[in-house]
């Protein structure tokens, strides 16, 4: 991956943008998109929308969400401690003992720590249970409520204080690869398409509020009304310890194994076939998983837009999902962008997506 692209990825991962508060990630994404796209705009919901090859005959939407799980301040008590509500799906074990960054007053970053009753002070029964989010608090070092309110307000968002870091073998770790990796991959595909021929008008959309119900993709797809929609998200890598009994349900997915292509009712079968054929032609290794229902991704919202959209889901293998140390392979990430550009070059006004 070139230095410019990697810097863009790092800035995306380090942005603080839980669902409903995506402005930091949006600023990074739009700045990069503005250097390559025909146009870039943000809708009233917060989705960022870059168009490539404006005027193309087939309207293709690529979607990847740039919101993340996090918290918001629900209460400030008299002693200056902050009480929190979760944004998105949290494993409460992960939040305990972590440091947080809060976007406080004047958009200033305020540091804090997640507090709970020390194990020494817990009753025996408490030690056998995981503390719930409602029993955790944030300590920002405030003397009292008045002191805390100089820095933060009810509704301010926060995330666990983890950043982007490179590991060995082209693997990277950080917070919010779910799904900043997807928002990155689709924009890289758009950038690459500027040097290629296509008959498609490509709408590259970084969507909001996926973690709380696919909300951004629903409104963005309605506004665009695409002919074809491809969502890019992350999926569970199952190449780590303690996956006995999980592989049978989630599939065998490995880091460095290439993009993961979903098959099932949420996916247009002819678009699925086109993706597989393209991967074979381009010699891009792919992995296949099955989903018997609508997927819990933007692909679900896109497929059900208007009278229906030919939809597919391409995923990036990821370890440690919904933790502050999510891990992906840069090789898989680049392969997703390469596959997207090759697919889009093959779509023409004559391409038939009627399933039968």
Catalytic residues: 210
Q: Evaluate whether 46 touches 216 at the Cβ level (below 8 Å).
A: yes
Q: Evaluate whether 165 touches 23 at the Cβ level (below 8 Å).
A: no
Q: What phi, psi does 316 have (nearest 5°)?
A: -105, 125
Task: List b or e across 288-317, with b for residues whose CB sees 16 or more CB atoms inside 10 angstroms.
Answer: ebebeeebebbbbbbbbbeeebbbbbbbbb
- Residue whose structure tokens are 């086109």: 274
CA nearest to 163, candidates 175, 154, 146: 175
CA nearest to 95, candidates 134, 49, 65, 37: 134
Ordered DSSP codes for 33-93 = HTTTSSEEEE-TT--EEEEESTT-SEEEEEEEE--B-EEEEEEE-TTS-EEEEEES---HH
Dist CA 11 CA 33 (whole Å)? 14
Dist CA 77 CA 64 (whole Å)? 38
């Amino acid at each position: 991956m070139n230095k410019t692209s990697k810097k863009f990825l790092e800035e995306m991962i380090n942005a603080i943008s839980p669902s409903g508060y995506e402005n930091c990630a949006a600023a990074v994404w739009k700045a990069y998109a503005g250097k390559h796209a025909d146009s870039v705009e943000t809708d009233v919901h917060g989705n960022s929308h870059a168009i490539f090859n404006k005027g193309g005959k087939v309207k293709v939407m690529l979607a990847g969400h740039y919101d993340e799980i996090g918290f918001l301040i629900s209460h400030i008590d008299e002693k200056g401690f902050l009480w929190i509500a979760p944004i998105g799906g949290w494993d409460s074990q992960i939040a305990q003992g972590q440091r947080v960054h809060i976007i406080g007053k004047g958009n200033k970053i305020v540091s804090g720590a997640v507090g709970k009753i020390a194990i020494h002070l817990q009753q025996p029964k408490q030690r056998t249970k995981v503390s719930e989010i409602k029993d955790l608090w944030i300590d920002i070092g405030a003397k009292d409520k008045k002191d805390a309110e100089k820095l933060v307000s009810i509704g301010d968002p926060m995330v666990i204080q983890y950043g982007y870091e490179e590991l060995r073998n082209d693997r990277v770790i950080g917070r919010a690869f779910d799904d900043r990796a997807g928002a990155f991959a689709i924009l890289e595909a758009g950038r690459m398409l500027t040097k290629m021929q296509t008959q498609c008008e490509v709408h590259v959309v970084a969507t909001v509020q996926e973690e709380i119900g696919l909300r951004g993709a629903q409104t963005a797809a309605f506004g665009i009304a695409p002919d074809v929609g491809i969502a890019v998200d992350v999926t569970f890598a199952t190449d780590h310890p303690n996956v006995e009994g999980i592989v049978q349900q989630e599939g065998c997915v490995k880091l460095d194994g290439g993009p993961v292509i979903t098959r099932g009712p949420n996916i247009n079968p002819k678009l699925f076939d086109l993706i597989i054929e393209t991967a074979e032609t381009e010699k891009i290794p792919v992995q296949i998983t099955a989903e018997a229902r609508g997927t819990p991704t933007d692909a679900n919202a896109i497929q059900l837009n208007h009278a229906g959209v030919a939809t597919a889901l391409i995923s990036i293998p990821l370890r440690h999902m919904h933790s502050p140390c999510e891990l992906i392979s840069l090789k898989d990430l680049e392969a997703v962008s390469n596959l997207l550009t090759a697919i889009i070059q093959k779509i023409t006004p004559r391409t038939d997506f009627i399933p039968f």
